[in-house]
Structure 1
Amino acid sequence: MTTMIVDEQLDSLLEQWPDERVPVCAPAEPEPVVWTADGTAECALAHDASAPAAARHLIQTVLGAQGVSDEAVDSVLLVASELVTNAVEHAQAPLTLHVRPQHTGEQVWVGVTDGGPAMVEGAWMRSCSPEEHGRGRAIITALAHDHGHHTHTNGHATYWAQLAAA
């Protein structure tokens, strides 16, 4: 049911936007992945428009190796894209992506740590009208079992979501 709601919302949005060529930033050379003791894959991301693509590449690699279903990977990719895009547009560098399959592969935890709130909005936010943004939280809420954020003592923040892996 959740997937159907998101599909309907995306179809509705696509009908509103005319087909146009959009420049796509090529992903930067990937940073090395670090594995923590709890099985989390972590990777630094550039604080620019290439970050969502780099995050998706890492997630596909990590979750593919863990045997996570294609449908679950697709949901994690969409949620992570939203988290990373929000960090690029609303927060300061540095950015770090965290991906952790949990409970013998039944769930995936994904998070993005940023450098805290930005003083000014990102380039995309400044270039568009209010109708062109603001759907990320609804997408995350629709796909994730749980989501939230944690502000660290150094002012950095981690925004995270937990999704089914099957």
Structure 2
Amino acid sequence: MKVCLVGSSGGHLAHLIEIKEAFENEERFWVTFDKEDANSALVNEKLYYCYYPTNRNIKNLIKNTFLAIKLLYKERPNLIVSSGAAPAIPFFYVGKLFGAKLIYIEVYDRIEKATITGKCIYPIADKFIVQWEEQKNMYPKAECWGGIF
């Protein structure tokens, strides 16, 4: 199996790093921002950089969509995993078209209000995981697995 782990740097990337051992026996690659935290944490990992800033940036959303098409066509992952934020959206939608399974993990600190990424991905995710039972009020079909940290 080949796994794509995609997410913004910072806390979103920290979530993915916490679960990377679950994929230690799988071929995997990462998509994130070219920032110090990503570069230092992902030494010896196959790493691709996506465009940022992404907050309400239509230009980079379009660029990341074309990047998703290119990378997912080249790599052909069976599974795409993310905890957000914006780079996950084009990678999940393009990945769905290419037949990849999608697992999304909603962030730990959004208990009462859904994230934009979560709202966008919830309808297409094969598995949507939340870390608090209260988050199921926003995502009724989600599975609560508890905190990652």
TM-score (norm 2): 0.30
TM-score (norm 1): 0.27
